[in-house]
Structure 1
Amino acid sequence: MAMRAALLVLVSVFLMTLDHRQQHLEAMRATIAVVLYPLEYLVSLPASAGTWASDAFAARSHLISENESLRSRQLELEARLLKFDALLAENSRLREMLQSPRKVDERLLVAELLAVDMDPFKRQAVLNKGSRAGVYRGHPVLDAKGVMGQVTEVSPISSVAMLITDPSHAIPVQVNRSGLRAIALGTGEADRLELPHIPNNADIRVGDLLVTSGLDRRFPPGYPVAEIQHIDKDPTQPYASIVARPTAELERVREVLLIWPDHLAETTDSQGAPAKDAPEADAPEPDAQEASPS
């Protein structure tokens, strides 16, 4: 037994020496490696599969977390972008309002719409300025395009404005081209005013601009009110049917201008509130429809 073991050892040493010097067993080792590779692969497969699964789940978890983070960041940036766009639009509207035609010495105050009346038969809006800011009943309200209406109710921190399209509103106007005076009545529709009692032979045309006449001592003269859209002259009727469209963007604006007429601007303090010694007789009447067109 010992002789056999010694013989095998000697043979092994001889073969290793021969292989090391002559490389005779290289082809045999390659063949054996090819034959044993599937077995080695199967033996190492569980460990490899475990490692792959661990890496795959870790990568998926990381991707999910990163995706959620990026989605949240995207929503945040989109919200900021929307706010940025809104601020740009608001800034543009304010710049346009402040550059709108007006007398240099007229006082003005920027207010914001808080709410609008949902009653289809009324055209009213709530403003965020009240008597503390000097707002009074009858205060003219404008936007960058023209006259919007006037204040009818006042509280310390807010007020209610009646728009010129309200059925109970009337405003003295004149045709900017010819100087013809008239009264523009609200109809309850958002884009429609009517001019009653205009003779068929009156000098008025489609496209004429109507501006405030200032004869009511409430609205300063010269501010755009509406543009003539339609004139229907019936020979059997003494007066023409005239429809005008307001120049102000009554259904779109969020910021408005409150202005003081000349006869009230000098009786207000630096904050816009009426001065203590201001004569009450100069304050405008609350109902615009009582004003005379001439």
Structure 2
Amino acid sequence: MDTIFTRGPSLNNRLALALILSVLLIFVDFKLDGFKSTRVYLNSLMSPLQYLANLPGLMLNKSAQRFTSQEQLLAENQKLNNQLLLMSEKLQQFDVIMQENSYLRDLLQTSARSDSRKMVAELMAVDKNPYSQQVVINKGAIDGVYLSQPVLDDKGVVGQVMEVGSTNSRVLLIADVTHAIPVRSLRNNIRFIATGSGALNELYLEHVPHSVDIEVGDTLISSGLGKVFPEGYPVARVSQVIRDESRPFARVVVTPLAQLDRLRHLLLLWKESSAIDDDSIEEKDRGAEKNASATKEVTNA
């Protein structure tokens, strides 16, 4: 009976035959270079398979690089945003400093006379009494502040010092009902008395006859009378003129030029005589020192 599967050479014989053929093929390929063209064809045939085998690794590397690049971009974006925020904050401070610098320059240039002494003060507090318009500044007797000293801002006259402490002072605003300031019209030099109304945006001109030449828009400056406010500083601008013949005087409403509702830095002015007195005192002191030194030299001699 014939079997379906015939038995061939044994495994040992097959292994020996494979080894012999392998050595023979290696010898022929190394010495005779007989499989060069065949190797080229086999490499060409295997190239697509190699690409397919490397494709998952390439995809993983690309994804990892893209993820890393995205993380780096996000980190750099966050860093740049933080830097932008910090620079914006510094730019805001720079703008504020420039604005304050310009404000202080304008404030120091408000003085009509360059030889008079002046000092910049800062607002500390505002009186909460609705019937009184007063503020407190951070300059006092140790800074040379005195009673009835004129106070200005960068726009015009603010008021005068009414109380002096050692380190601070109280200023009575021109809008207070108890305050009055002599003024004159810049257009025609007519003199008036401007009194406070109790409101920060209004002053009244007292006892103005109907025939007086005054118009809306006229600028009023300090006249120098009363010897409190120096002459020539802006005070107010005429905003309303009502001539009612049934009343003995015209009603004239003026608006202060100083920004009384937003004060921050103020300018204290000294009288010219004070500056002259200071100079004379300094000269006297220097003279006394010279005399004392001369007396000492004579005594030593």
Q: TM-score, normalised by structure 1?
A: 0.76
Other-structure match for 1:132: 142
Which stretch shows the higher mean deviation, 56-65 or 30-39?
56-65
Say whether the 8 Å CA contact 1:220–1:262 is kept in structure 2. Answer: no
**Which ranges of structure 1 fall in alignment gaps of 5 or more residues?**
272-294
SS at match of 1:3: helix
Other-structure match for 2:34: 18
Q: Is the alpha carbon distance of 1:4 and 1:112 closer, same or farther for their aligned partners in structure 2, counting shifts above 3 Å? A: closer
Give the Å deviation of 1:219. Answer: 1.3
SS at match of 1:149: strand
Is 1:41 the counterpart of 2:55? The answer is yes
Q: Is the alpha carbon distance of 1:37 and 1:71 closer, same or farther for their aligned partners in structure 2, counting shifts above 3 Å? A: closer
Other-structure match for 1:209: 219
The size of the alignment, in residue pairs, is 265
Q: Work out the CA distance in 1 between the residues paired with 2:197 and 2:175.
A: 6
Q: TM-score, normalised by structure 2?
A: 0.74
Q: Which has the higher helix share?
A: 2
Q: Work out the CA distance in 2 between the residues paired with 1:258 and 1:224.
A: 15
Larger relative contact order (Cα-Cα within 8 Å, sequence gap ≥ 6): 1
Is 1:176 the counterpart of 2:190? The answer is no
SS at match of 2:46: helix
Is 1:187 the counterpart of 2:201? The answer is no
Q: Is the alpha carbon distance of 1:238 and 1:29 closer, same or farther for their aligned partners in structure 2, counting shifts above 3 Å? A: same
SS at match of 1:111: strand
Other-structure match for 1:285: none
Q: Work out the CA distance in 2 between the residues paired with 1:107 and 1:74.
A: 45
Give the Å deviation of 1:41. Answer: 3.2
SS at match of 1:103: coil
Other-structure match for 1:123: 133
SS at match of 2:194: strand
* Match for residue 79 of structure 1 among 80, 84, 89: 89
Other-structure match for 2:252: 242
1:47-104 CA distance string (max 9 Å, x none): x637853x55654554454444433333332232222222222222232233335234
Q: Work out the CA distance in 2 between the residues paired with 1:185 and 1:24.
A: 117
Q: Work out the CA distance in 2 between the residues paired with 1:89 and 1:40.
A: 66
Say whether the 8 Å CA contact 1:145–1:224 is kept in structure 2. Answer: yes
Matches within 5 A, 1:100-115: 100-115=110-125
Q: Work out the CA distance in 1 between the residues paired with 2:225 and 2:123.
A: 28
- State, as a whole percentage, how many aligned pairs show the same letter: 39
Is 1:160 the counterpart of 2:174? The answer is no
Is 1:148 the counterpart of 2:158? The answer is yes
